[in-house]
Structure 1
Amino acid sequence: MAETLAVHPPALRDLGILARRAAGLDGTALLRVRPRAGEPAGLARVFVTTPFGPLGCRSIAAAPGRESMVVRADAVAAAAEAAAAAGPDPGGGPVTLDCGAAADASWPGALPPETGFELIDVVPAPVLLDLDEKARAVTRDTPTPLGPPASLLDQEVLEVADGDRGLRAGVRVREILALTRLGFIPAEPPAGEPVRVSARGRWTRLDGRFGTVFSRAGFDVIAL
């Protein structure tokens, strides 16, 4: 039986973009939809896997056919494109997408906690785009058939800190590539465009204008 996802028409474009970008990065990328606790009915967190490790996430007005369903991102992208081409429901109700077979067993691990993240610092988006470009340059100079080498992805290229609370965290190339390749910050952001860096235990999150990246391994909050 195919998994279904009911999407409010204004959110269809955002869902399609997220699924298409995830599938473009990795043809086997997965998408997971989970209703948000404590939020109005119909609003869900939509997660996607990336080949860099971190998860991408957007809040979208959608309701899965069952709790926390997992499907392939390319199937969702195709369904969203077909629904957009067909036009809106004359009745104005949600659009039901056929998202293909369930893929729960392939999901790589736990989801991040919904609450409890502490803001550490705000980084200008142009700084992250500059670091992204430097990582791309290294990849062009040393290409591999499997994409960026792990040694590059694991490099900690930025440190953020809150001295008043004695907290600091390191941002790796993995998090930056996930944030920029999923299009979660503008391609040409203004100088003051913020990216918020928050953490809870071993989980961290980078919040851009258009979405959030969550990462768990190697991104700890450490007391100074």
Structure 2
Amino acid sequence: MLDLAHRGARLAKEHGSSAGPPVSLLDQEVIQVSSADVVGLPMRCVFALTAMGFLPQSAETISADELIRVRISPAWLRLDARFGSVYRHRGHAALVLR
């Protein structure tokens, strides 16, 4: 996951602008996990885990049994790492109530 974040950061520097990384890079699903359901994890969640320090920051300090748990519901995606969790709303950004 840390290597993926480093590669994504290099791409963001190459293709980003003063407004930041391209939205297409942030929204790209870079990992797919499955159990009863299948869900793709977007790059913005990978960046969030590493930028907020929820994962160890160097490859030497990450053990082989380091886990990131992925939980999904119809409305939310949640990633639980050693030092914190990242949530992302699933589905449409706009919600229309009647």
* CA contact 2:32–2:40 (8 Å) conserved in 1: yes
Q: Take 1:154 and 1:134, find their aligned partners in 2: how far apart are those partners?
A: 15
For 2:73, the equivalent position in structure 1 comes to 200
**Larger relative CO (CA 8 A, sep 6+): 1 or 2?**
1
SS, match of residue 24 in structure 2: helix
Q: Take 1:205 and 1:185, find their aligned partners in 2: how far apart are those partners?
A: 15
For 1:152, the equivalent position in structure 2 comes to 25
* Deviation of the 1:202 alpha carbon: 2.4
Instruction: Tell me the number of residue pairs that the alignment of Structure 1 and Structure 2 aligns.
Output: 88
| Higher-Rg member (1/2) | 1
- 1:185 and 2:55 equivalent? yes
- 1:170 and 2:40 equivalent? yes
For 2:12, the equivalent position in structure 1 comes to 139
For 2:94, the equivalent position in structure 1 comes to none
The structure that is strand-richer by fraction is 1
Given the two structures, how large is their TM-score scaled by the length of structure 2?
Answer: 0.83
| Aligned alpha-carbon RMSD (Å) | 1.2
Given the two structures, how large is their TM-score scaled by the length of structure 1?
Answer: 0.38
Aligned amino acid, residue 178 of structure 1: A
Q: Take 2:79 and 2:22, find their aligned partners in 1: how far apart are those partners?
A: 22
SS, match of residue 194 in structure 1: coil
* Deviation of the 1:200 alpha carbon: 1.2
SS, match of residue 179 in structure 1: helix
SS, match of residue 159 in structure 1: strand
* Deviation of the 1:160 alpha carbon: 0.1
CA deviations over 1:12-37 (Å, ceiling 9, x no partner): xxxxxxxxxxxxxxxxxxxxxxxxxx
Aligned amino acid, residue 52 of structure 2: L
Aligned amino acid, residue 187 of structure 1: Q
Q: Take 1:217 and 1:144, find their aligned partners in 2: how far apart are those partners?
A: 26
Q: Take 1:143 and 1:151, find their aligned partners in 2: how far apart are those partners?
A: 11
Aligned amino acid, residue 131 of structure 1: L
For 1:85, the equivalent position in structure 2 comes to none
Unmatched runs of 5 consecutive residues or more in structure 2: 92-98
Aligned amino acid, residue 47 of structure 2: L
- 1:217 and 2:90 equivalent? yes
SS, match of residue 148 in structure 1: coil
SS, match of residue 68 in structure 2: strand
